[in-house]
Amino acid sequence: MAETIRKSLRESAKTRWLAMFAVSMVLFGAYYYSYAESSIKPILESSVGWTSKDIGIYTSAYAWFNVGLFMMLISGVVLDKVGIRKTGLGASLLMVIGAAINYWAMSSLSADAVTTLPLYGPIKTQVLYSSIGFAVFGTGSEAAGITVVKAIVKWFKGKELALALGLQLSLARLGSALTLAISLPLAIKFTYKTPILMSFALMLVGFFAFIVYMVLDKKLDASEKDILVKEEEPFRLKDILLIVKNRAFWYTAILCVLFYSAVFPFLVYAPDFMVNKYHVAPKLAGLIPMLLPIGTIFLTPLFGNIYDKKGKGATIMIIGSVMLIIVHGFLAVPALNGWVFAAVLVVFLGIAFSLVPSAMWASVPKFIPEKQLGTAYAVIFYIQNIGLLAVPLILGFVLNSSNPNVAPNKALIRSSVEQSFDKALAAHNIQVNHNKLTIAIDKTTESVVDSIVQTSIYTAVPQNEVNIKNLKSNIINSNLSLLESHSLSSNPKIAIKELRKVFIAATFPVVKKEKLDIRYNYENDILIFVVLGFLSVIFSFLLKAEDKRKGYGLQMPNIQKTTK
Mean pLDDT in order along the chain per 10 residues (564 residues): 55 84 91 87 83 88 88 82 90 96 92 86 92 95 89 82 80 86 86 91 94 89 62 58 85 93 88 89 84 79 82 90 94 89 92 87 83 77 85 90 90 92 91 87 89 86 88 93 88 90 93 91 94 95 93 81 51
User: Distance (Å, rounded) from C-alpha 438 to C-alpha 433?
Assistant: 9
Query: 381: left (phi > 0), else alpha (psi -120 to 50), else beta?
Result: alpha
| 263 three-class SS | coil
What are the backbone dihedrals phi and psi of residue 114, each rounded to the nearest 5 degrees, phi first?
Answer: -130, 140
Q: What is the pLDDT of residue 438?
A: 87
pLDDT at 250: 93
DSSP category for residue 119 = T
Cα-based angle 37, 292, 154 (whole degrees, multiple of 5): 90
- Cα separation values, 66 from 21, 134, 204, 241, 378, Å: 26, 11, 22, 20, 10
Q: What does the radius of gyration of the chain's CA atoms come to, in whole angstroms?
A: 26
366 Cβ contact partners less than 8 Å away, ≥ 6 residues apart: 552, 553, 554
**Rounded-to-integer distance, Cα 433 and Cα 305, Å:** 57
Asked whether 321 and 352 are in contact (CB, 8 A), the reply is yes
Strand intervals (E) in 69-173: 114-117, 121-124
- Other CB atoms within a 10 A radius of the CB of residue 70 amount to 13
Sign of CA dihedral 448, 449, 450, 452: positive
Nearest alpha carbon to residue 147 among 304, 23, 260: 23
Are the CB atoms for 500 and 309 separated by under 8 Å?
Answer: no
Query: What domains appear along the chain, each with residue ranges and CATH number?
Result: 20-229+241-403+521-550 (1.20.1250.20), 406-514 (no CATH)
Question: What is the largest distance, in Å, between two alpha-carbon atoms of the chain?
Answer: 90
HEC string of 201-239 equals HHHHHHHHHHHHHHHHHHHHHHHCCCECCCCCCCCCCCH
Closest by CA to 104, choosing from 137, 126, 74, is: 126
Contacts with 338 (C-beta within 8 Å, 6 or more apart), sequence order: 278
504, 444 contact by CB (below 8 A): yes
Which of left, alpha, beta for 473 (phi over 0: left; psi -120 to 50: alpha)?
alpha
3-state secondary structure of 4: strand
- Cβ 45 vs Cβ 192: under 8 Å: no
pLDDT at position 236 = 61
Contact indicator for 134, 102 with CB cutoff of 8 Å: yes
Angstrom distances, CA of residue 163 to CA of 381, 427, 557: 21, 66, 12
DSSP letter (8 states) at residue 515: T
Helix (H, G, I), strand (E, B) or coil at 116: strand
Distance CA(35)–CA(117), nearest Å, equals 26
pLDDT at 3 (0 to 100): 44
